[in-house]
Amino acid sequence: MKLDLVHPELRRSVTRMPRMPIRRTWGRRAVRALIVRHGPGEPVEGVDVREIDEGRGMRLYTPAGGGSGAALLWVHGGGYVIGDVVQDDAFCSTTARELGIVVVSTNYRLAPEHPFPAPLDDVFAAWQWLRESAGTLGVDQERIAVGGSSAGAGLAACLAQRLHDAGGARPAGQWLFSPMLDDRTAARRELDVVRHRVWNNAANRTGWGAYLGGEPGGPSTPDYAVAARRADLRGLPPAWIGVGDIDLFTDECHSYAERLRDAGVACDFDLVTGAPHGFEAWAPDTRVARGLLERGRVWLGARLTGTTSSAPGGS
């Protein structure tokens, strides 16, 4: 993909993005170790950050004063094969402080060592823990949203589907940043030549293949493995989807947003011109990224607390 298609504010950062050797075991292990050791961004002031015990691999972010009674369960990205809660310290702590909500960020077992359903089971367990701990945390069980980035957003969307079918409590909203929603994108070989920035279709095929335990794009997938494969989207929680227009996932995100709306589910779709995959994570201080983050937090604040973020806006 030509650099002139990338937003001017993002060009310098995107050219510095390293290639991630995720196809090989040694490469995935190296990337995982680097993320844990050098997670980008430190937690912001005014937020208490602590590890949750019992080996659950979760981080709890509590704003000064204890919060408004609302909460977010956040799921990190990484194509189902890499990633760790530490990579979102700055993002989660800022969200907790700006919206005055409790944020729980969870790890999950990674593919290919742990394919579906292990990652979704881990996210489901984190949801259960958050609801069971709501009283201790000062959280209203009816005001908990789920969200994530990339593969984490795909897991959050699948969690919303699983909870809907279980017939119990459902999330107050789905907060999805460039969600990885459809394995059939990976099977579209014509997309390989585009060479999307940050996350291309070769990497996408690796991620989906590891997660599903076979070639992506087949005639069927297990229930709750691939959010976009679900036929009936009626009754799901309201959603916000933010994605760049040169992201590999642009089409699948737009399609899912339209299908949600057609099913009677409120969905805000925020398309950012010239933005590659995950730009708000690796270029958070640019005006274009701050704008997306602000608009996303405004939506989430309205869903959970009836308030809006005080962070600076932009577009």
Catalytic status, residue 232: no
Catalytic pick from 93, 150, 178, 309?
Answer: 150
| Cβ atoms within 10 Å, residue 46 | 13
Catalytic pick from 68, 247, 270, 309?
Answer: 247
Residues 6+ apart with CB under 8 A from 54: none
Backbone angles phi, psi at 52, to 5 degrees: -90, 130
Could you tell me how far CA 271 lies from the centroid of its own chain? Answer: 16
Could you tell me how far CA 299 lies from the centroid of its own chain? Answer: 15
Catalytic status, residue 84: no
Catalytic pick from 7, 76, 196, 277?
Answer: 277
Give per-residue burial for 249-273: e unless 16+ CB within 10 Å, then b. bbebbeebbebbeeeebebbbbbbe
Catalytic status, residue 196: no
Catalytic site positions: 150, 247, 277
